[in-house]
Structure 1
Amino acid sequence: MKNPVSLGILLTGFAYMLFTAHDAAIKLLVATIPVWQILFFRSVTILAGCFLFGGPSFARQMVRSPIIKPMMVRSTLLLVAWISFYSAAGYLQLAEVTTLYYAAPVVGTILARIVLRERVTAARWTAVGVGFVGVIIACNPVGLKISWPVYLALQAAVLWACAMVLLRKTALHEKSVVQMAISSCFFLAMTGVTMPFLWKTPNAYELALLCSTGVVAGIAQFALFEGMRKAPVSVLAPFEYTSLIWAFVLGYLIWQDVPAHNVFAGGALILSAGCIIVFFERRASRVAT
């Protein structure tokens, strides 16, 4: 694909589709397996894939990487974001926590303008706004009041947005597979210390699902990292909303959850947000050439 921005959009959309499948697998596992153990298996699987893909000199590349410190910061932000999200999800309805969490693309666009000095066009702001309205309509949170869980969900959104902006900075200076390995090493260390206390021996089905979760997450991470290389954060931010559509699709296929009419209306707006970005970025590319 000649246009790098279009390729970045394609990779990012693909990544969020896989991340949604990853979340669905986690939802199947959490009924019997602790979340920390799931993250541990995920990190082991991704790290093994990175070493298999990286070759004999991969460990040396990791140690000498110039982005170890920022990747550690990013991994910390992600870990706190996940803890905040899972903690909030225990007290809020799914629609409420999802709507709050999807403030991340809005925050990410703002940070891209302030931190990365990206030029955020009116089309990009419009796409982010339209997508967020679509999320609110689809999730339909009613009677949401300010509370500690609400704060945690918003904190998760802000931290995720900060991690994505930091990823954009590091993505330009290191191979994606090296970034993935460094991040997985951090999560492996953080989750490994809990294993003596939380370990539950998985059966064959659970083990297969645990490993597949790592494989899917690894491919999704690689696609997201490569997408960040190709396009600005403000372009890619609205495509995070598409994961909500995949969530409703998988919810129907796996748990027979039938979406209400507001879900289809919100989904149409979310798709419109992506179309706005694609249309204006393609037009800008043609004008530039």
Structure 2
Amino acid sequence: MPDDPNAQPYAASAASASAPPPLPPKTRPPVQDRTGLAILLMCLVSFIFALQDGFSRVLAENYPPVLVVMLRYWVFAVFVIALVARQPGGLKRAVRTKRPITQIIRGVVLVVEVLIMVEAFVRLGLVETHAVFIVYPLLVAALSGPILGEKVGWRRWTAILIGFVGILVVLNPGSGVMRMDALLPFVAALMFALYGLLTRHVSRDDPSVVSFFWTGIAGAVAITLVGIWEWQWLTPLDWVWMAGLCACGMTSHYLLIRAYEMAEASALQPFAYTQLVWVSILGVVLFSEVLRPNVIVGAGIVVAAGLFTLWRTRQKSG
């Protein structure tokens, strides 16, 4: 598992309305460096995350997004409990946190981010939602200074500004996606960046398994308090889609954990951007979305800026 537990790959974007990213134990180094296989797993995880987003869009077009997210979080909470119970100390250790309020806030922030993303899938489609959401690593870099007191040099600030130019290219002011709905994935990106920074903050006092537990449980409780009022039974076919969504969630996160065991997170992060490719293919082929040239160019600019920021971070920490 990665030496840097604070790294948050784009594919884990609950990003992307995927289940919350697992946080591997920060004290255990990779058992064996098998970077090539880990990269393949990361690409597979990115594809499964894209499938999850497709399932989420199908279900959210027919049911309240809060219901879809609630059902998925119920399954995810069971997954978290089962996974954590197998760790040293079990559930008793996972419950004990030195920062309970912050841990709860993290869980709530993430589940709201997921909910916003699912709503954005319905209103904007998969392609344009992700084209805006990929700005979140740059938001993490921008906010790490004022929130965590980390130093951000002029090179990374330049990359951040270039990334925001890419978002403007995607939004294409005056036409296309430039409307109020376009704020949804940007707000989601901002919330996911905040979640990542809060994760760094709590990691100073709590081991990763504790954060992982509180992410799933706090999120499940929060979404249930809201979503239970929207309860309705799914049709038999939609239960199949929901089962597929939950199965993808558990499979993807298990594979993500396995990838982390084989290679450093910083080596895997660039390949997490392949999720944008898979999402674009699914959006065009299955949902008849239009892949506009400005979206391609703008997303490319943002990804390039994000990769440069990652490279600078590795250079500074190397």
Aligned partners of 1:148 and 1:258: how far apart in 2? 19
Alpha-carbon deviation of 1:277? 3.1
1:78 and 2:110 correspond:
yes
Give the secondary structure class of the aligned counterpart of 1:200.
coil
Counterpart contact for 1:134–1:267, Cα < 8 Å: yes
* TM-score, structure 2 as length reference: 0.65
Match of 1:125 in 2: 157
Flag the 1:219–1:29 CA change in 2: closer, same or farther, 3 A: farther
**Corresponding position of 2:292:** 260
> Cα RMSD (Å) of the superposition?
4.3
Q: Provide structure 1 residue ranges, at least 5 long, that are not aligned to the other structure.
A: none
- Provide the residue aligned with 1:29 in structure 2: 59
**Among 236, 243, 246, which residue is 1:211 paired with?**
246
Higher mean displacement: 109-118 or 276-285 = 276-285
- Cα deviation for residue 120 of structure 1 reads 1.0
**Contact kept in structure 1, 2:170 and 2:298, CA below 8 Å:** yes
Question: Is the 8 Å Cα contact of residues 180 and 222 (structure 1) preserved in structure 2?
Answer: no
Within the alignment, does 1:198 sit opposite 2:231 as a pair? yes
Normalised by the length of structure 1, the TM-score is 0.70
Pair 1:270 & 2:267 matched: no
- Which residue identity is paired with 1:208? A
- Report how far residue 167 of structure 1 moved: 1.4
Give SS of 2:161's match.
Answer: helix
1:182 to 192, 199, 214: 214
2:283 corresponds to 1:251: yes
C-alpha contact 1:130 1:273 (8 A) present in aligned 2: yes
Aligned partners of 1:186 and 1:282: how far apart in 2? 32
Instruction: Work out the CA distance in 2 between the residues paired with 1:70 and 1:252.
Output: 40
Task: Give the C-alpha shift of residue 30 in structure 1.
Answer: 1.2
Does 2:73 match 1:43? yes
User: Is the alpha carbon distance of 1:136 and 1:25 closer, same or farther for their aligned partners in structure 2, counting shifts above 3 Å?
Assistant: farther
Cα deviation, residue 196, structure 1: 6.0
Q: Percent identity?
A: 22
**Aligned residues of 2:52 and 2:245 also touching (Cα < 8 A):** no
Pick closer, same or farther for the CA change 1:240–1:134 going to 2, 3 Å: farther
Higher share of residues assigned helix: 1
